[in-house]
Amino acid sequence: MALVSLEVRGSGDIDRALTTIASERPDALWVHVVAFSFRARFLEFANAHRLPTVAPSSVWPQWGGLMSYGPDAADVQRRAAAQVVKILKGAKPADLPVEQPTKFELVINLETAKALGLTIPPSLLSRADQVIE
């Protein structure tokens, strides 16, 4: 598997990135959360090129991407709030441990899979936290 990393910092980078993706002809596309503000362009491009897309946020498949796998946002926010409460009660931020996400979620959009001509294995579907049909 070859990895091609493209940096998109603003709208001016999108055309260059999409041109590169089209010329590289990858089997799939990982979309980082930062690029979500350009989601319509990425999804339109991906659908036109029959390119499965994956992202770390569960909203991606809700918007039409194939799937997502990443930290459960609600769990991360709850844990961050608990840290804030500790600080408000007098704890020094430097004394608090750095926490990593512990709960991850997999969301699969079967409608997108069907449009792309993909069959999602039952073993993967059974592991999904949410399946969009």
Residue 42 is predicted with a pLDDT of 84
Residue 34 is predicted with a pLDDT of 61
Residue 55 lies in a domain: yes
Residue 27 is predicted with a pLDDT of 87
Residue 93 is predicted with a pLDDT of 94
What's the total number of domains in the chain? 1
Domain hosting 57: range is: 11-71+105-132
Residue 14 is predicted with a pLDDT of 83
Residue 113 is predicted with a pLDDT of 96
Residue 99 lies in a domain: no
Rounded to whole angstroms, the Cα distance separating 97 from 83 reads 9
Residue 112 lies in a domain: yes
Residue 82 lies in a domain: no
Residue 89 is predicted with a pLDDT of 97
Sites in the chain below the pLDDT cut of 50 = none
Residue 30 lies in a domain: yes
What pTM, to 2 d.p., does this model score?
0.81
pLDDT tens per residue, range 35-64: 677 888 888 888 889 999 999 988 999 999
Residue 66 is predicted with a pLDDT of 95
Residue 97 lies in a domain: no
Residue 80 is predicted with a pLDDT of 93
Residue 98 lies in a domain: no
Rounded to whole angstroms, the Cα distance separating 93 from 76 reads 17
Q: What is the CATH number of the domain that holds 61?
A: 3.40.50.2300
Residue 10 is predicted with a pLDDT of 76
Residue 35 is predicted with a pLDDT of 66
Residue 109 lies in a domain: yes
